[in-house]
Structure 1
Amino acid sequence: MALAPDRAAIKALEDALAAVLAAVGNNPSPATVRRIREGLAAHADAVEAARSATDPIRMPRSTFDPADPKAIGRMVSIALLAQPLLPLGDVRPAYGSGVYAIYYRGDHPLYEGITGSETPIYVGKADPANDDASTTREQGPKLTGRLMEHAGTIATAEAFSDRIPPHLSVIRLSDFSCRRLVCATNAQLVAEKHLIRTFWPIWNSETKACWGMSKHGDAATTRANKRSPWDVVHPGRPWALDVRLADSLTPDEIAHRIRATLERVPARRDHAALLEEILAGFRQDDAPRADEDVPPVGESAVGPEPDEAGGVDDE
């Protein structure tokens, strides 16, 4: 007797899994193990999707867990975006560690794709002075200290403007603003990662576009150092002017990488839309489709039958 279609499909799935295990053998190579693990992980999502599709009771897309690093990253990111913009040059010492974002508002040709946008040119974190700090005073003035350090770096490049080659353009501290958020100790770790993944800022090293602004400098003789892309297009820091340093990238290569980064992750222009984008990460259910007949809660809810035990609800 032929199996019912659903039973036949499940049997085929069982046979396929058995074939995968057989293909592993007794002494699989690392490459084989990696391919199988990646393949099974991809199909696990498809199996769960099929299981949900056949279940009359819906599953939420996710479960909110305030201890989940991704949830913490989103919450801290939203809190950062709620902070007012402040001129970077106006930052003064204040207690607290946390995360920050630096924005560009000028006319430098390299940054025409992000100027005046909601996409920061750089995001970072400031760790507390004490790893066990429970108050902002114990954290120390680390967050503002980091921002003031960046302001000094940009000001140094600006002061060098009368000596830069004609093919480069000047940056000015007055064209930069920032947002900063003091947060609980260790929250800055996951928040920084989330901000980098969200915005892919062109001055962060992860984008491999124009990194190096946060470098503190090494002697050219320490090891085979190269001049960072940031110092190539924004010269001025004395240690990076050492003639023994070779440029890591040419200005044209840096410009190409910046354009490629912004093509991959375009600048956000709307603050409200950006907040909605982050909030969508918390959403557990998709919005009902226009053609889906969803009755009001009062019509769809099922209460106790008259003969159910229990009596009046507990207060």
Structure 2
Amino acid sequence: MRLRPIVVLVAAAVCAGAVLAGCAAEPKAVPDACPQRWGGEGVGAWVPDAVDVDGADESLVPGSPVRALVCAYPGVNTDPGGERLGGSRTLTDQAAVMARDLAYLPVTTGKADGLCTLMGGPMTNYLVRFAYADGSALWVGSAEEVNSCVTTTNGTVRTRSYVGKALTTAYREGAWRMPRPDDPCRAVNDRRGRQDTMVPEGPQWVLVCRDEGEKRPPRREHGVAAARDLAAALNDLDTEPSEHGCQEGGPEADHRAYRLVFGYAEGPPAGVHVRYGCTPGVDNGMLQAEVDDDVRRLMARMTP
């Protein structure tokens, strides 16, 4: 009986010590189950909550999560919002690879703009809950839809790089695969860093493809030295946010157009369009600039 007050006093002392040590309340947990309804009003671009995970302000999925819960909300893109949960699937062995691929995508804390076609059709909104070994987690919201025009977000940063088909494969088959084109000249331009500079640092090669509508355009590949010289010239241009278009010149203008695909030791390529007969003539999808003499001089030695 005499021990009971001592136990109470010790417990109180431990609690007081915790307060004095500045122990904060447990961080708000990300629910470990799929919401029963999609809470956004559109296609993609929604998560239940933006969670303060280190690096989430710089990358869609920072670090190496150990589990990914994929939640699917099927509907139609002509009347999006409020879709019911259609099913879910948990990925474990591929969660880190999935996160790595998403972390390579270019992100912004501002509005993610882009041009879209307006076809109506089926779509599926997706939430993915990435869980980490330390118990933390974050949501990523995206979608698959017929126009491939979707904003993907973790609630803090967002991207217009399209991952809808890969998410559908992950949900239906339990396998994560980012689509790759048959022709490298048509590689998707989804490398992080192009929001800040025309060509992200460290290219190992560059493929110069003519971009004039051919099914399989002529191309020439160049090694690391040529790739980095051309990247440096492009990165010296005065850039501004892309408006996803240019003003065509008259009938006497030089209408040659090229797509530059810069390859890297790891991760996706970076692409730049160069159109001599347009103003502005250089565009990487997020930045645009005018073509200058240095770029023209280097391109003259590299074009097919």
Which TM-score applies when normalising by structure 2? 0.24
Of Structure 1 and Structure 2, the greater helix share is in 1
Please identify which structure carries the higher strand content: 2
Tell which structure's C-alpha radius of gyration is larger: 1
